[in-house]
Structure 1
Amino acid sequence: MSKISDLRKSYERAELDETASLGEPMGQFRLWFDEALAAQLPEPNAMTLATVGPGGRPSTRIVLIKGCDERGIVWYTNYESRKGRELAGNPYAALQFHWVELERVVRIEGRVEKVSEEESEAYFRSRPLDSRIGAWASPQSQVISSRAVLVANAAKYGAQFALNPPKPPHWGGYRLVPDRWEFWQGRKSRLHDRLCYRLQDGLWVRERLAP
């Protein structure tokens, strides 16, 4: 087995130049996201969400992007989960996309807010039936005695709601409103390209960062 410290890769697929990048970050993100989709990457919509809990302790998990526009990045979850509790106490978070095959990373930071109840309702209705039942069945982040608890809950709510489960009151969407983006493109010799966009007086300032 190889030593972990010996694992290396040379990044040589592409480059990221100020003159070729867009002047505002959401447009640049959509461009890269579309290229990730076109490359048929496995789960290009998966992103790491970092939150901070009491005492400044960070935690991360993978969630799926479900929308993006000029207002920000949207995902859906259980408001009573660990991430929901941490966002209630500290409404700032960071997101990261890692598209390994394209040698790209996108990092996004900002304030987090709940989406409207109407948006959450509309998305919930679009989900497969088993996912809607699952939103009721799982007391997310709570300790349970065994998987049998989830199976029993799913059977209970499946019988109760049949084909039309309503959105649980504890479930809905969050939107991260960005004030900082970073686009990272792997380059040879570890001289990677890093472009940062930061919001200053309502305008996006683009800067190159040293790798």
Structure 2
Amino acid sequence: MPRLKYTNRLFIVAFFAIVPALLLTALIKTPCPVCGGTGSVTNAPGMANVKILDLSFVELKRVQDTCGVYTVWKFNTKIQMLNDGNEEAVGWIKIMLIDTSKDEGNNMVDSQFVKVDVPVQSIINSDYNVVFGTGLDQPGKTLLRAEVVIGGIPCIACNGTGKIPLNARPFVSSLKEYLKELTRSENEYHPPVFIDWSQYIMSDQ
């Protein structure tokens, strides 16, 4: 009997010590190890290591529709890119038509996306013909800019909050790479739907 009473006391002490500790660690939040506390995971692997070193462009053609509602611009664009990461970068570059007569931050009038594939630790030069459509018809007041599309999707480990319970951190940390790849595989990046303005240019001559 004394041994049984001792065992019961030990169980009660353990119960009242462990259960509150579990509840407390469930309430305490810690940064998610999968997304680093940002709440999102890039779905364009390797593109975070890509840098645009140079951009040049030449206007090839400018055509206005018969009603004067829009103008179609065709540019030849040359982009030099560096991938200084340790994995191949496959993703998208966003090329923007800029109206220089407008204020910064409110001067993009159209954009198009081009697919890129940049090998590990290399510099490549790519050439694209890009077509934009806009109501703007002011020669000499446009330029092109480009940016690397990193992409971002809610992390499934923290449901996009950037935080997880403290008691779940060891388990989530052990599955970090798996959860990251699972998030990416289920949400491959696709650029927004955009108009193919090239069909409005009847000839390349």
Same fold (TM over 0.5): no
Q: TM-score, normalised by structure 1?
A: 0.26
Larger radius of gyration: 2
More helix by share: 1
More strand by share: 2
Q: TM-score, normalised by structure 2?
A: 0.26
Higher relative contact order (CA 8 A, sep 6+): 2
